[in-house]
Amino acid sequence: MKLDKEQRVAVIGAGAMGRGIAAVAAAAGHEVYLYDQDAAAAAAAPDAIAADWSGLVRRGKWSQSQLDAARRRLRPASCQEELADAALAIEAIVERLDAKQALLRQLDALLPASAILASNTSSLSITALAAGLRHPERVIGLHFFNPATRMKLVEVVSGLETAPALSERLCQWMRAWGKTPAPAASTPGFIVNRVARPFYAEALRLLQEGACAPSTLDALLREAGGFAMGPLELMDLIGHDVNFAVTQSVYQAMQQDPRFRPSPLQQELVTAGRLGRKSGRGFYDYGQALPAPDAAPPQAAPAALRVHGGLGAAEPLLARLRAGGVRVEREPGPAQGWLDWDGLRLALSDGRSATRRAADSGHAGWAVFDLALDYASAPRLALAMADQAAPEAAARAEGVLQAAGLLVSRMDDAAGMAVLRTVAMLANEAADAVGQGVAAADSVDQAMCLGAAYPRGPLAWADKLGTDYLAQTLDALHVHYGDDRYRVSPLLRRLALSGGRFHD
């Protein structure tokens, strides 16, 4: 079916998401039917959409005549029969398999065989939604992100029976609507909801271990990792009931793979009704000022340091140390080496705890610091000390990083720290999605940047850090915890062994 603005679009469900999808289609020039079981909701939707569009007029992006024309293209429907000539029907009703299946059966009987049936589901199987229909080949997922009018990403999801050409056809259609499509196969969570699970899971595990305070953990992911929001504040914003339900859904659909195991800590929050911002309390109490992240007090800076080998991704720290007046001398050593200040060894984490590095090396004075998106500009960095280190070693290690102009947040000695283990697990899950044919590497990275506002795609991050380094980090976490959730993706392992990359 060729794209034609004369073709009508039907949107079923006049809630926030349905209204957003209808607004996008109408703005792209299509006549749009809006149907809802609640006739009043469908009738009120065009005015609500036009009120949102009025902001475009105020900002000079639309003329009033454009708004009026788009408003005329929105047509509330009082019964399903009025949708019969739609070329594309998009359901945006409650996220329940039985309800969506029942609606799609009705649409399958009502619309001609040439019409496309799309579901805006965020995680339900497209194959399951299409099962039993007369024309399962015309069923596809169009997962818009909220708010649909502003978020660019749309996951275009094919089930087992979806016609092979339909995905590319809908990708073209979404581009014409000003969206960025990410084609994917129908697997639990598709791309974004699947690959993003470790962003929440690792934070919950660190918090359960008492690695640091919630405000500190969030600050580290923002200020060192470059993420728009920390994982705990993001879960508070999403709502713990919603986030926990998605995790449970993916966990069950993935046959209880330990990589997706829900957190008992989040279960407790849901049970207590501490759902986040909407209930006034989650990880944070929104009835009072939010706590500041921990930062070490000023400590003495070294006059000189030796670098044994390289610092890997953290090499830019050396320029910051020199700018801070520290003399830096380099000695031969391993590619992933360390800074030495009179017996204090300070290194970028490789997934092992500082205590493990001290035990492995036979040298007590170890400290490790976390990964950063950009060591040349990061304002904050996490630090952890080996249990074997002398009491005064912590202040000395803090002084080194402070000399580079960094705020230093102490963590308990958790393997992989905060940013590194999160990035490693995101890249690992993304690698599995590619290796299992869910989506191509470019689509995965684009989806995570557009759909989850990540500062860098997980696979691009893996290429930059080195697949061997991330595999080593995950191996260390696997040994530390003895938990299969940290097993290395076969594709990541293969690239680590060959020196390969996810992107050319």
Nearest CA among 52, 199, 152 for reference residue 451: 152
Nearest CA among 130, 131, 128, 126 for reference residue 143: 126
Catalytic annotation on 193? yes
Residue 80 and residue 104 in contact, taking contact as beta carbons nearer than 8 Å: no
Residue 214 and residue 187 in contact, taking contact as beta carbons nearer than 8 Å: no
Instruction: Identify the active-site residue in 31, 91, 95, 155.
Output: 155
* Residue in this structure with the two tokens 């249990």, named with its chain if needed: 387
**Torsion of Cα atoms, 119 then 123 then 124 then 126, to 10°:** 60
Exposed (0-12), middle (13-18) or buried (19+): which is 409, by Cβ within 10 Å?
A: buried
Residue 434 and residue 458 in contact, taking contact as beta carbons nearer than 8 Å: no
**Torsion of Cα atoms, 125 then 131 then 134 then 137, to 10°:** 40
Catalytic annotation on 155? yes
Instruction: Identify the active-site residue in 31, 119, 120, 122.
Output: 122
Angstrom distance (rounded) from CA 80 to CA 110: 8
Nearest CA among 22, 27, 52, 196 for reference residue 120: 22
Instruction: Identify the active-site residue in 193, 249, 349, 489.
Output: 193
407 in helix, strand or coil? strand
DSSP-assigned beta bridge partners for residue 153: 180
479 in helix, strand or coil? helix
Instruction: Identify the active-site residue in 30, 95, 143, 167.
Output: 143
Before 147, cis peptide (omega within 30)? Answer: yes
204: left (phi over 0), alpha (psi -120 to 50) or beta: alpha
Catalytic annotation on 331? no
Active site positions, annotated: 122, 143, 155, 193
